[in-house]
Amino acid sequence: MKKIEHIGIAVKNIETSNELFTSLLGVEPYKMEEVKSEGVLTSFFKTGPNKIELLEGQSPDSPISKFIEKKGEGIHHIAFEVENIEQEIARLKKEGFKMIHEVAKKGADNKLIAFLHPKSSNGVLIELCQDIK
């Protein structure tokens, strides 16, 4: 793994949260994007080398909406940048990690993504990200 790519934060209302994080970080979001396959609207902030992704569920049965219903708003996942996502999935499976996605899929911000199951990573949802070339 190369670095932390971003921290994902589940929010109830992305517009209100965009205002909050704009005030907090002193920058506007650089991108908003809907990821229909995940039922989510995303907003990205960059401050220095760090990125924050805000995620709002688009329906009551989306993973983000279910997360907020269970745990409330807050940190949802930590994403790590990887060089080769398929090799990293295979390596982690060999190490005994359980994957939510056994095959990478297209995510937000021009990335291929795959998630590890939090039961195999001390309750932390981990996302693997690779730039789409």
- pLDDT per position as a tens digit, 25-69: 999 999 999 999 889 999 999 999 999 999 999 999 999 999 999
Q: Residue 127: what residue type? A: E
Mean pLDDT value of segment 84-91: 97
Q: Where are the beta strands (DSSP E) in 48-107?
A: 50-57, 74-81, 105-106
Please state the separation of Cα 45 from the chain's center in Å: 13
Handedness of CA 50, 109, 32, 61 (dihedral sign): negative
Whole-prediction pTM value? 0.92
Residue 15 falls in which region: left (phi positive, over 0), alpha (psi -120 to 50) or beta: alpha
C-alpha–C-alpha distance, residues 133 and 126, integer Å: 22
Mean pLDDT of the chain: 95
Q: Provide the pLDDT for residue 51.
A: 96
Asked if residue 1 has pLDDT above 90, the reply is: no
Burial classification of residue 87, based on how many CB atoms lie within 10 Å of its CB (0-12 exposed, 13-18 middle, 19 or more buried) = exposed
